[in-house]
């Protein structure tokens, strides 16, 4: 129904910045929330940030004040600006989307294939 393609991952030193982008295609009219999840090696997958169609935003506590999520519905896109990156941010980052209103967005209907972010010290 919906396909998601991420870009913008890479290698950056601690304290640096990266901007992730994601473009949705397919039945994009059904999308409500768009977000970013990540999974570090040996760790469980976690929500990083999510933004609903109404503009409500939630961040993981670990990224508050450093990451900013935004979306451009005209381009079917969602972005994640990551500043002051830390080695602990190293993970595969997944673009996600969901058609439903949810109390939380730990699970999403649609997932991209992921883009690797590596933060070195």
Q: What is the pLDDT of residues 92-120, one digit of tens each?
A: 999 999 999 888 898 899 999 999 999 99
- In whole angstroms, what is the distance from residue 62 CA to residue 51 CA? 17
Residue 118's nearest CA partner among 41, 54, 53, 42 is 41
Tokens found for residue 39: 């999974």
Calculate mean pLDDT across residues 43-67. 96
Residue 23 confidence class, pLDDT cut points 50, 70, 90: very high
Place of tokens 């999403």: 108
Question: How far, CA to CA in Å, does 37 sit from each of 48, 74, 95, 121?
Answer: 5, 23, 7, 23
Predicted confidence at residue 102, as pLDDT, reads: 87
């Amino acid at each position: 129904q919906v396909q998601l393609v991420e870009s913008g991952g890479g290698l950056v030193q601690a304290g640096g910045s990266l901007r992730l982008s994601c473009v949705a295609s397919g039945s994009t009219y059904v999308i409500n929330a768009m977000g970013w999840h990540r999974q570090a090696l040996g760790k469980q997958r976690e929500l990083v940030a999510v933004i609903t169609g109404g503009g409500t935003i939630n961040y993981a506590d670990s990224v508050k004040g450093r990451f900013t999520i935004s979306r451009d519905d005209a381009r079917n896109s969602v972005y994640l600006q990551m500043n002051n990156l830390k080695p602990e941010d190293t993970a595969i980052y997944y673009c996600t989307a969901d058609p439903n209103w949810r109390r939380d967005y730990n699970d999403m209907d649609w997932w991209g294939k992921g883009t690797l972010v590596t933060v070195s010290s």
